């Protein structure tokens, strides 16, 4: 596998980490409809984690007409294993004896991914509640919360995206979305994070055999059927801030670079597949294990990238660890699940809990 581009990594990072999906469409036409009907009270907004099942059946450029968004790639061509053995930890408060389980999740999965292991399913069956980044199943049923989420991506200071990126990047961006039937001038009120997430969604829509029911959605639906409590770890505001955590300069660079590489769907498929492979084989530190090239980011933007990572990952991890500690102290019999990258490096949720004095054992 060739060395993964940092741009592709950052876009995939947003997809893997953030479960703020607010609309599950069934075909690429829904993406175009959502864009054409955009307004300050948009009825649908596609985000990085808001993906659909790809409907095309061919990966060749000659057959790109099957998908109006461009040429496609079959994710199955980049997957070596379909067995699932996701990273799993047991956290115990040695003083009270209370314990919870931590699960690293993927928010999108290959269609042919296998069943979850018996050990994990037994843990779920024996728990009284699950904790997820945000209860997106409930979100999709709450019109006011949906509107709040959507409006979080709109500039509130009277500016438009034209004021935040270069004229060259703006033209390239609008020309691209116009070419796929998804541009409307009213979209200009949305921020750079929205457009970066839109580009990521476009790429995901061009991956065949990728489904939207990732780990979180699977267990949320199961928990609701089983009348188990579903706890939201984060607020909508936290989710929106994470998806909009780019400085203008970093966003301009990423938008421009992503548009330059928009047709390299094969490399994007490799990126998603690499994350999946590490997750499915139980990696407890995907950030460390991934083959990424941070040096690709211009030197003058390294600080901006560090701030992005702090907001998207490090700060959220601290909040997640605090929530896990709260559940432990309450004696909740809980399966706690967040995106797998939240367990990476020293600032991972598992390491933060260990630093708080809890016993943390990786059991899968």
For residue 49, what pLDDT is reported? 32
Question: SS3 for the chain, per residue?
Answer: CCCECHHHHHHHHHHHHCCCCCCCCCCHHHHHHHHHCCCCCCCCCCCCCCCCCCCCCCCCHHHHHHCCCCCCEEHHHHCCCCCCCCCEEEEECCCCCCEEEEEEECCCEECCCCCCCHHHHHHHHHCCEEEECCCHHHHCCCHHHHHHHHHCCECCCCCCHHHCCCHHHHHHHHHHHHHCCCCCHHHHHECHHHHHHHHHHHHHHCEECEECCCHHHHHHHHHHHCCCEEEECCCHHHHHHHHCCCCHHHHHHHHHHHHHCCCCHHHHHHHHHHHHHHHHCCCCCHHHHCCECHHHCCHHHHHHHHHHHHHHHHHHHHHHHHHHHHHHHHCCCEEEEEEHHHHCCCCCHHHHHHHCCCEEEECC
Q: What is the pLDDT along the chain (364 residues), one digit of tens a residue?
A: 344 455 555 555 555 444 334 333 333 334 444 344 443 333 333 333 333 333 333 334 444 457 888 899 999 999 998 889 999 999 999 999 999 999 999 989 999 999 999 999 999 999 999 999 999 888 889 999 889 999 999 999 999 999 999 999 999 999 999 998 878 999 999 999 999 988 988 888 899 999 878 999 999 999 999 999 999 999 999 999 999 999 999 999 999 989 998 889 998 899 889 899 999 999 999 888 876 666 678 999 999 999 999 999 999 999 999 999 999 999 999 999 999 999 999 999 999 999 999 999 999 9
The confidence score (pLDDT) of residue 9 equals 55
pLDDT score at 13: 54
Q: What's the pLDDT at 38?
A: 42
Per-residue pLDDT, 339 = 93
pLDDT of residue 66: 73
Determine the pLDDT at residue 342.
94
What local confidence, expressed as pLDDT, does residue 67 receive?
82
Q: pTM of this prediction? A: 0.86
Residue 183 has a pLDDT of 87
pLDDT at position 213 is 80
Residue 14 confidence (pLDDT)? 55
In the prediction, which pLDDT does 297 show? 85
Please name every residue paired with 110 in a beta bridge, in sequence order, or none if there are none. Answer: 210
Q: What is the pLDDT of residue 34?
A: 39
* Beta partners for residue 205, in sequence order: none
């Amino acid at each position: 596998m060739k060395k993964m581009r940092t741009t592709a990594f950052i876009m995939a990072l947003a997809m893997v980490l953030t479960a703020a999906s607010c609309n599950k469409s069934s075909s690429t036409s829904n993406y175009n409809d959502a864009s054409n009907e955009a307004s300050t009270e948009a009825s649908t907004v596609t985000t990085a984690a808001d993906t659909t099942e790809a409907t095309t059946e061919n990966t060749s450029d000659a057959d790109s007409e099957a998908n109006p968004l461009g040429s496609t790639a079959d994710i199955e061509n980049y997957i070596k294993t379909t067995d699932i053995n996701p990273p799993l930890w047991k956290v115990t408060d040695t003083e009270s004896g209370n314990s919870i389980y931590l699960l690293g999740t993927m928010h999108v999965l290959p269609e042919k991914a296998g069943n979850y292991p018996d050990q994990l399913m037994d843990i779920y069956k024996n728990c009284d509640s699950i904790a997820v980044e945000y209860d997106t199943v409930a979100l999709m049923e709450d019109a006011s919360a949906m509107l709040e989420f959507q409006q979080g991506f709109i500039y509130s200071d009277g500016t438009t995206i034209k004021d935040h990126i270069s004229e060259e990047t703006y033209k390239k961006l609008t020309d691209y979305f116009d070419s796929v039937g998804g541009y409307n001038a009213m979209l200009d009120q949305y921020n750079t994070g929205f457009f970066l997430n839109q580009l990521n969604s476009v790429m995901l829509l061009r991956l065949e055999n990728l489904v939207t029911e990732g780990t979180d959605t699977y267990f949320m639906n199961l928990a609701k059927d089983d009348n188990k409590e579903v706890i939201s770890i984060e607020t909508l505001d936290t989710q929106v801030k994470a998806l909009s955590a780019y400085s203008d300069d970093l966003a301009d660079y990423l938008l421009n670079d992503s548009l330059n590489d928009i047709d390299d769907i094969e490399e994007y498929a490799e990126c998603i597949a690499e994350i999946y492979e590490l997750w499915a084989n139980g990696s407890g530190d995907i950030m460390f294990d991934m083959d990424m090239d941070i040096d690709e980011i211009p030197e003058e933007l390294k600080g901006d990238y560090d701030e992005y990572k702090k907001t998207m990952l490090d700060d959220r991890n601290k909040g997640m660890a605090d929530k896990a500690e709260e559940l432990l102290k309450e004696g909740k019999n809980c399966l706690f699940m967040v995106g797998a990258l939240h367990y990476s490096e020293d600032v991972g949720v598992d390491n933060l809990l260990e630093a708080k004095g809890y016993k943390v054992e990786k059991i899968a």
